[in-house]
Amino acid sequence: MDYNRAQEIIESSKEFEVSYNGVSIWIDKLHDDGKTATVHLRHAHEERSEVDISELKEEYLVQ
């Protein structure tokens, strides 16, 4: 995924399925470096990780 698409997903009122290493995640915020983001597992809000945006994968639009 690129930075611009990640920004679109964050700002959208729609919900998108996004994965990191095959695991469903939620993007919390994008960092100013334009390369990394803070994410958490979709059902585990307490543990956050910093990951490369390029490693995020958009799976589908959640209906």
pLDDT at 17 over 80: yes
Q: How confident is the model over 39-58, as pLDDT tens digits?
A: 999 888 788 999 999 999 99
pLDDT at 63 over 80: no
Q: What is the pLDDT of residue 45?
A: 74
Distance CA 50, CA 30 (A): 9
**17 neighbors 56 (Cβ within 8 angstroms):** no
| DSSP letter (8 states) at residue 53 | G
Q: Domains in the chain, ordered, with CATH? A: 3-62 (2.30.30)
